[in-house]
Amino acid sequence: MSTKNKVIIIDYGAQYTQLIARRVREAGVYSEIMPYTASLESIKAAEPSALILSGGPDDVGEHGAPTLAPGLLEMGLPVLGICYGMQLLAHHLGGALTKAENREYGPAVLRFLQDSPLWKGITKAECTVWMSHGNHVSKAPSGFKVLAGTSTLAIAAMADEQRKIYAVQFHPEVGHTENGTDILHNFLFTIAGLTPDWTMSSFVEDCLARCRELVGDKNVVLGLSGGVDSTVVAALLHRAIGKQLHCIFVDHGLMRKNEGRQVKATLEKYLPGLNLHYINAQELFLGKLAGVDDPEQKRKIIGATFIEVFEKEARSIRDVSFLGQGTVYPDVIESCTPKGTVIKSHHNVGGLPEKMHLQLIEPVRELFKDEVRKVAQELGLPDEMIWRHPFPGPGLAVRLLGPVSEDRLDILREADAIVQEELHASGWYRKVWQGFAVLLPLKTVGVMGDNRTYEHVVALRIVNSVDAMTADWTPLPYDILGTISRRIINEVKGINRVVYDISSKPPSTIEWE
C-alpha cells in the first residue's frame, strides 16, 4: 500500500497483536504486522514511520525468548512498546526486570505520575487499564522517566521522550482500558506526527491504479465463490481491467440451499458485463469425497479437485498471466505466524501448484474483513453481497462431520436454510458474524407422535467476531433459538435433536472441521 504514513507492528506472539493493527488502522493510519524474526533490512524496506512492539507470552531474557532485531532502535523512529515490548526495551537498554510470583491478568488502576505527550487530553489522575503479564520492569533504563504506576507496579509506563521511545505495561488496544484509544492516538499523532491518510476511498483509488499497471494488457483468472472477499476482488478488477478479467465459479455441490444459482444471478445483476465461467462439477467432487471422513483429508481433496477443475477452465482462456485471489489479512497472519502451528489448511493462502505459472494478484490481501466490506460499500455493491456471512472454501463438507453424501448434504442444507431464514426474520443476521448449522455424525433416540425415532443431531454455531481471529458464541434470545429448533425438528426429515455450541475461539475454532 502506498501511503506516506505507515506503522510496523513487531509481533512477539501476543493474542492482541492483530487488535493493535486494527486500532491503528481505525485511527486512519496504515499498519502492517511483521514477525519478530524479520530482518532489519526487511523492516527498513517496509519504510515505516513508527514502530510498535507487541506483547507476548515469553519471559524476556530467557533462552530462546524473542528479542529485538539488531539495529532496530538505531532507525531513529518513534517506538511504542506494549507489555512484552516494554520489558524488551528495558532489558535491551540497561533497565532491570523482576519476575512476578503470580501473573497479573485483568484490570488495574493506573496512576499518572508525570505529564507526557502520551497522556495528552486525559484530565483524570488515574484510569482503569488491562494488564496481562508475568515479569515487570523494576528499574527504568538510563534516560527514561517513569510516567505512571499502579498499586503493584512502580513502573507501569516509561519514556525517553528525547528519543521518542515510549513503553506501557498495560494494553491500550483493548476495550477494557480506559482512554486506550486516546493513548494510541497520542502516540500516532502527537508523538510520531503521523497524518491519518488511510481511508477506503484512497485504498480503492490506489488499488485500481496498481492493478492496471501490474496487469497491463494480459488476462486475469479469478476463482469466484460469491463471498464478500472474492466478490470485492472481482468488482475491483472488473472496474480496473474490464474484459481482461475472467471469473471462474466452480459449483462443487457443497454449497448452501440454492446458493449456486443465487450467486450467479446476483453477480450478473450487479456486475453487468462480467466474464463469468460457471462450472458445474458436483458429481466430480462428491465422487472423490465418497467415504472420506477425516476433516483435513476432506479439505485437501476439495482443494486439489478445485485446482484441477479451475486449471482446466483457465487453460481454455488465452493470454492468462495472473491468478486473482480473495486473500485477506487474517488469512496471511494465521498462515504465517512466527511461532504458530498449522490449525487447518487455508483455501486461499498457499497450496497452488507451481505448474500454473501464473503471477498472483491479491488486491485485498492487506485488509481485514470489515475493511473489505467498507471497500464493497465504496464500490456500490448491494447489502446482500456485503453482509453475506463468511462461508468456508470447502463448503458444507466441513460442517457435515463424517463422510460426505448427497442425502446428508440435503439434510444439512434444509436445516441451515432455516437458520438463515430465522436470523434474517429476527434481525439478527446483521448482528452476528456467522450463523450456521452443523450435522453431527451421531444419532439419538427421540419420540415423534407415538413412535420412537433414532435420527440425526444438528448443532447451531452462531458467533460474534470482528475478523475471525477470535470469536465469542452469541447469546441468541431463547425464543429465537426455540423457533429455530422447533422448525428444524418439525420440517427437516431425519433430525430429532438440536443443540447449541457455546464455545469461543480460542480454544475452539469457528468451523467444526
Cell of 242: 474490464
Q: How many angstroms from the chain centroid is the CA of residue 77?
A: 28
**DSSP strand pairing (145-149 vs 157-160):** antiparallel
Residue 378: half-sphere exposure toward Cβ, Cα within 13 Å: 20
Cell of 55: 506483547
Measure the CA–CA gap between 148 and 113, rounded to whole angstroms.
Answer: 5
H helices of 154-227, in order, are 180-185, 200-215
Measure the CA–CA gap between 200 and 198, rounded to whole angstroms.
Answer: 7
Candidates 215, 218, 208, 217; CA nearest to 240 is: 208
Place of cell 507526557: 116
Are the C-beta atoms of residues 373 and 221 closer than 8 Å to each other?
no
Residues 234, 235, 237, 239: is their CA dihedral positive or negative? positive
Cell of 100: 512476578
Q: Which residues contact 386 (CB under 8 A, 6 or more apart)?
A: 228, 373, 376, 377
Containing 421, the helix (H) or strand (E) segment is helix 406-426
Which one-letter amino acid corresponds to residue 352?
L
As a 3-state breakdown, the chain gives helix, strand, coil percent values, each rounded to 5, of 35, 25, 40
Expressed in angstroms, the distance from the first to the final Cα of the chain is 34
E strands, 75-176, are 79-82, 96-112, 126-139, 145-149, 157-160, 165-168
Across-strand partners of 497?
457
Containing 348, the helix (H) or strand (E) segment is none
**DSSP strand pairing (30-35 vs 6-11):** parallel
**DSSP strand pairing (320-324 vs 219-223):** parallel
Q: Is 441 helix (H, G, I), strand (E, B) or coil?
A: strand
Measure the CA–CA gap between 122 and 127, rounded to whole angstroms.
Answer: 9
DSSP state of 433: S
Measure the CA–CA gap between 486 and 245, rounded to whole angstroms.
Answer: 46
User: What does the radius of gyration of the chain's CA atoms come to, in whole angstroms?
Assistant: 25
Measure the CA–CA gap between 430 and 61, rounded to whole angstroms.
Answer: 46
In terms of C-beta density within 10 A (0-12 exposed, 13-18 middle, 19 or more buried), how is residue 126 classed? middle
Residue numbers annotated as active site:
83, 171, 173
